[in-house]
Amino acid sequence: MKILTLVTLLLIGPLLGCLRATQATRTNSVVEQLSHLLAPQKVQVSAATMSSPPSAGTRELRVKWVTGNAASTSEQPKPGPPPVGIFSIAAQQRYSEAPSRQRSLEIATGRILIAAVDRSNRLKSWSVIPDPRILRSEGPGPDGTLTGQALHMEQAEFFLSIPDDPEIVELRLYEPQLNGTEYRLSPVGSITLSR
85-133 per-position pLDDT tens digit:
789 999 999 999 988 888 899 999 999 999 999 999 999 999 999 999 8
Residue 6 predicted with pLDDT over 80: no
Among 67-71, 90-94, 160-164, 170-174, the minimum mean pLDDT is found in 67-71
| Buried/exposed code over 26-38 (b: 16+ C-beta within 10 A; e: otherwise) | eeeebbeebeebb
pTM: 0.76
Q: What is the mean pLDDT of the chain?
A: 82
What pLDDT score was predicted for residue 77?
60
CB-based contact 50:123 (threshold 8 Å): yes
* Contact residues for 105 (Cβ-Cβ < 8 A; gap 6+): 30, 33, 34, 126, 128
Report the amino acid identity of residue 115: A
As a whole number of angstroms, the distance between CA 28 and CA 5 comes to 34
Q: How confident is the model at residue 18 (pLDDT cuts 50, 70, 90)?
A: very low
Q: How confident is the model at residue 68 (pLDDT cuts 50, 70, 90)?
A: low
Burial class (CB in 10 A: 0-12, 13-18, 19+), 52: buried
Question: Which one of 29-38, 62-71, 148-157 scores highest in mean pLDDT?
Answer: 29-38
Residue 67 predicted with pLDDT over 80: no
Residue 173 predicted with pLDDT over 90: yes
| Residues 152-165 pLDDT 10s | 888 999 999 999 99
Residue 144 predicted with pLDDT over 70: yes
Residue 24 predicted with pLDDT over 80: no
Q: How confident is the model at residue 19 (pLDDT cuts 50, 70, 90)?
A: very low
